[in-house]
Amino acid sequence: MKNSESKLNIIFIDGLEPQTNVNAMVLGYLFPIGAMLEEYNMSFKVLNVKTLLNYSILGIIDELKKWNFDAIGMTTNSDNIRYVYKICSSIKNQFPKTTIILGGPEASFADEKTLSKCECDVVVREEGEVKLVEILKCISQNRSFEHVRGISFKKNGKIIKNVDAMPLDVNSLPIPQYAILSNKKYWIIPSGVKEDDYTHILDKLRKSYKFFMSGRGCPHNCAFCVEGSLKRKYRAKKVELVKQDLEYFISQTNTDYLIISDDTFTSSPKRVKDMCSMIKEVRQKYRFVWFCEGRIDALSKNPELLSVMYEAGLRKIQLGVESGNQKVLDIYNKNITLEQTKKVINETAKYERLLVHGNILLGNPEETFNEFKDSLNFIKDLIKLSDFKLNISNAYVTPFHGTPLRNNPEKYNIEILIDDFEFVRFGMNDIVCRPKSLSLDELIALKPYTDGEILKCINENIFKYPRNKIIKYFTEPNRVTFHQNGILDTLGRLASFQKYLQIVTRSTTVDSTQIDVIQKSHTLSPLRLWEIEYNKDTNQYNFIDLSGINTIIDGKNAYLWEKATGKNTLYEIFAKADDLSLEYIAEFYQTLEAKMAIVFVEFYNTPQN
């Protein structure tokens, strides 16, 4: 039975990525397209396949049978392309007259190949807002697609590639339709799913969605990057229009952490300053902090931008580190130097709550294993230089469609090991190409070696990190989640530290570095956190702290350790200790506090002597 609603111009199928999370939706393309469709009074709905009770191709077909529609739309990427092919085949078999339209980088960069091997009808190359409107007009008016610029399509078994379209004027687009995140009218609620349950699904989606764009394109052309390979140029939206978009986005999502997903937010210093001034205005009404991607070269030439962004609420920035080998950076056309990277990382360390994310690539062209080891040593130095606020992830070099690496592997002296690897596995977590400078065994070893070296670097320095900073990061209510900091992530996984944190964050505990311990000796009581056995043979306690360092507690110090029960004030311990000054006792306990062996508990009722 068909749905009683009028015929839809298009149904977008979403949720085709392999992640199991229903909220892992690739919706960024849909907000501006949805707004454009509405401006032309065109109707659409979204079917998220992960919400189907029958999660299968048959389940998708059964749900589509309930609707009248002219076209099916899907975006493509390296994660979902193999599923798109399968679904297109089933849809075309069941709905042979329905136009299937694909967009996204995978189809866009391999348009002719996609049209020849996939049961789709049209590929939208690059941006789709205007093109999709024109395609849907052609369908409704039964006209040919031959005059729609920037698309490729099939006609009578022949593939036709129309001339490129002019780059969009991003300032002419309507405000993106972020209400798609929460309004059920935009979604197909699958059979058997209650409306209340779907409301809950959308509520989770709305709360978890944080991605916002203020511009398009990238002015750079790194050899491994898809965005930099696009023909369209970098276009930044006017700041006053971005403000309208941002206020609407925040009003719809109520997010407290905004991810500005422009490929390079810092390209124009003037625009950064204008954007930050605008963001500060918006933050007066909405409470949020934010993330952006930055360029090493731009920030090294304009280090003051970090201060401007930080004051406007920036709390995490991603920097394209990629490698600690200048030769590799030059091969990739990064146009940055190692000295610039060190300068920027050193600058970020000045901002206490600013976290930094960097990625390094494994299996770089022309790089030997020993050269990579030297590169990794540089990366470890950066971690220390950042005050351990630089979090490093790693991924294998992947020649995505459209990139120079994919188009000309011989130039980069790499061998693509799996043709069309997107159809059998996801690239960046798997080895799909090999530089001829490395054996396959060496290439395989790179990832565990890198993970081990980074972890070793963190573990060796973890308890050199100031205690007051550790406590502040774990207790600050509006922090960007601590798991994005390597040191804090490692700490957070230790059961012993979790126990320590539970105690040290109680309202009665105090940081002795912030007060005069001697002056408050009548109200401060030391509380030991660990039970350690007394060695009768040596007459001492051996305390191994969380950093692995052994502290011997013997003689009169053993007496002080035993009295650290949280029930004796410093003054009471002093009054019963022979030949120990109050200053010595306070210093001993403060040393143990720094080792996270004790905490000070403050009693507000002064004990009677």
- CATH classification of the domain holding 25: 3.40.50.2300
Query: Which residues fall within 8 angstroms of residue 463, CB to CB, at 6 or more apart?
Result: 545, 546, 547, 596
Torsion sign (Cα): 294, 295, 299, 302: negative
> What per-residue confidence (pLDDT) applies to 487?
63
535 or 246, greater pLDDT: 246
> What per-residue confidence (pLDDT) applies to 496?
61
Last residue of a domain, one of 117, 140, 171: 171
Task: Say whether pLDDT at 332 is over 90.
Answer: yes
Could you give the 3-state DSSP secondary structure of residue 509? strand
Based on the domain organization, do 107 and 68 belong to the same domain?
yes
Judge whether 242 and 275 are in contact, CB under 8 Å.
yes
User: How many domains is the chain built from?
Assistant: 3
Based on the domain organization, do 353 and 458 belong to the same domain?
yes
Based on the domain organization, do 218 and 358 belong to the same domain?
yes
Judge whether 234 and 262 are in contact, CB under 8 Å.
no
Alpha carbons 209 and 51: distance in angstroms, whole number: 17
Based on the domain organization, do 224 and 167 belong to the same domain?
no
274 falls within a domain: yes
Judge whether 396 and 428 are in contact, CB under 8 Å.
yes
Alpha carbons 472 and 257: distance in angstroms, whole number: 19
357 falls within a domain: yes
Residue where the block lists tokens 């979790």: 498
Average pLDDT along the chain: 89
303 falls within a domain: yes
DSSP calls for 131-198: HHHHHHHHHHTT--STT-TTEEEEETTEEEEPPPPPPP-GGGSPPP-GGGGT-GGGB---TT--HHHH
CA 161 to mean position of chain CA atoms: 36
Please give the span between the terminal C-alpha atoms of the chain, in angstroms, as a whole number.
Answer: 87
Based on the domain organization, do 528 and 482 belong to the same domain?
no
Based on the domain organization, do 445 and 302 belong to the same domain?
yes
Average pLDDT over residues 86-109: 96
Task: Say whether pLDDT at 466 is over 80.
Answer: no
Average pLDDT over residues 561-580: 91
502 falls within a domain: no
Query: Which residues fall within 8 angstroms of residue 462, CB to CB, at 6 or more apart?
Result: 487, 490, 491, 547
CA 572 to mean position of chain CA atoms: 52
Task: Say whether pLDDT at 498 is over 80.
Answer: no
Q: Give the pairing of strands 211-212 and 433-435.
A: unpaired
Could you give the 3-state DSSP secondary structure of residue 71? strand
Residue where the block lists tokens 């454009």: 36
> What per-residue confidence (pLDDT) applies to 537?
86
DSSP calls for 246-261: HHHHHHHH--SEEEE-
Task: Say whether pLDDT at 609 is over 50.
Answer: no
Residue where the block lists tokens 């009169």: 556
21 falls within a domain: yes
373 falls within a domain: yes
Confidence of residue 26 (pLDDT cuts 50, 70, 90): low
At 450, which helix (H) or strand (E)?
Answer: helix 440-461
Alpha carbons 197 and 199: distance in angstroms, whole number: 5
Based on the domain organization, do 482 and 519 belong to the same domain?
no
Based on the domain organization, do 140 and 271 belong to the same domain?
no
Query: Which residues fall within 8 angstroms of residue 370, CB to CB, at 6 or more apart?
Result: none
Average pLDDT over residues 285-295: 94
Task: Say whether pLDDT at 485 is over 60.
Answer: no
pLDDT per residue over 590-606, tens digit each?
999 888 888 898 865 44
- Cβ–Cβ contacts within 10 Å for residue 70, how many? 18
Judge whether 36 and 133 are in contact, CB under 8 Å.
yes
Of 12, 53, 47, 51, residue with least CA distance to 33:
12
Based on the domain organization, do 483 and 526 belong to the same domain?
no
Task: Say whether pLDDT at 477 is over 70.
Answer: no
Indicate the DSSP class of residue 423.
G
> What per-residue confidence (pLDDT) applies to 605?
45
Indicate the DSSP class of residue 466.
-
Alpha carbons 130 and 546: distance in angstroms, whole number: 60
Judge whether 430 and 396 are in contact, CB under 8 Å.
yes
Alpha carbons 136 and 138: distance in angstroms, whole number: 5
Alpha carbons 254 and 286: distance in angstroms, whole number: 8
Task: Say whether pLDDT at 607 is over 50.
Answer: no
Alpha carbons 299 and 309: distance in angstroms, whole number: 11
Of 284, 339, 351, residue with least CA distance to 314:
351
pLDDT per residue over 141-179, tens digit each?
999 999 999 999 999 989 999 999 988 999 999 999 999
279 falls within a domain: yes
Q: pLDDT above 90 covers what percent of the chain?
A: 66
Last residue of a domain, one of 171, 187, 221: 171
Based on the domain organization, do 454 and 519 belong to the same domain?
no
Average pLDDT over residues 298-307: 96
Judge whether 327 and 366 are in contact, CB under 8 Å.
yes
Amino acid letter for position 609 = N
80 falls within a domain: yes
Q: pLDDT above 70 covers what percent of the chain?
A: 89
- Cβ–Cβ contacts within 10 Å for residue 422, how many? 21
Torsion sign (Cα): 282, 287, 292, 297: positive
Last residue of a domain, one of 487, 517, 533: 487
Domain holding 534, by residue range, is 509-602
> What per-residue confidence (pLDDT) applies to 509?
82
pLDDT per residue over 220-242, tens digit each?
889 998 876 566 677 899 999 99
What is the CATH number for 481?
3.80.30.20
Amino acid letter for position 315 = R
pLDDT per residue over 379-420, tens digit each?
999 999 998 888 899 999 999 988 999 999 999 999 999 989
The predicted model scores a pTM of 0.82
What is the CATH number for 586?
3.90.930
Long-range pairs of 223-226 with CB within 8 A, sequence gap ≥ 24: 223/331, 223/332, 223/333, 223/403, 223/404, 223/405, 223/412, 224/332, 224/361, 224/397, 224/398, 224/399, 224/400, 224/403, 224/404, 224/405, 225/403, 226/105, 226/109, 226/400, 226/401, 226/402, 226/403
Alpha carbons 578 and 585: distance in angstroms, whole number: 11
Confidence of residue 103 (pLDDT cuts 50, 70, 90): very high
Based on the domain organization, do 49 and 134 belong to the same domain?
yes
Average pLDDT over residues 38-63: 94
Query: Which residues fall within 8 angstroms of residue 566, CB to CB, at 6 or more apart?
Result: 525, 526, 527, 601
Based on the domain organization, do 422 and 534 belong to the same domain?
no
Judge whether 12 and 44 are in contact, CB under 8 Å.
yes
